[in-house]
């Protein structure tokens, strides 16, 4: 598995980058590969697991409208979390703890409650492994 933050939203440019990198991985590796190409930043993936945030800090809560939107189109998820999550202010160093809580409490699946196309593409690629 290879992870990269795209630093761009999941638009047509995302499709081109994903196709190009996936083709290079498949051509260069003698095994199954999966590209975890997080549209914009990994925070957009973390936001798919809203119940994990208050497990890291009781004062944190995702806004309901953020739980319904396509998070792969959010232009700056890291800044969005800093502005809207609550206190203390979100920092990138919180991300491993948030993912750990999401896994620990069974929120991570191929089809989480949140919506993010780049995560779905990654999960679908993993599901295709024999």
For 107, other C-beta atoms within 10 Å of its C-beta total: 18
Q: Give residue 126's pLDDT.
A: 86
Q: Is the pTM of this model over 0.75?
A: yes
Query: Whole-angstrom Cα distance, residue 106 to residue 79?
Result: 26
The predicted pLDDT at position 125 comes to: 87
Q: How many domains does the chain have?
A: 1
pLDDT along the chain (130 residues), means of 10: 86 90 88 86 92 96 89 92 95 96 90 86 85
pLDDT of residue 90: 97
């Amino acid at each position: 598995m290879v992870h990269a933050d795209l630093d761009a939203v999941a638009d047509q440019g995302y499709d081109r980058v994903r196709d190009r990198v996936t083709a290079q991985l498949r051509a260069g590796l003698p095994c199954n590969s999966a590209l975890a190409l997080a549209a914009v930043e990994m925070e957009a993936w973390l936001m798919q697991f809203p119940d994990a945030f208050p497990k890291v800090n009781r004062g944190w809560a995702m806004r309901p409208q953020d739980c319904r939107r396509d998070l792969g189109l959010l232009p700056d998820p890291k800044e969005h979390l800093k502005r809207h999550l609550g206190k203390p202010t979100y920092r990138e160093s919180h991300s491993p703890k948030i993912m750990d809580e999401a896994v620990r409490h069974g929120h991570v699946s191929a089809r989480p409650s949140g919506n993010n196309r780049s995560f779905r593409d990654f999960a679908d690629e993993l599901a295709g492994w024999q």
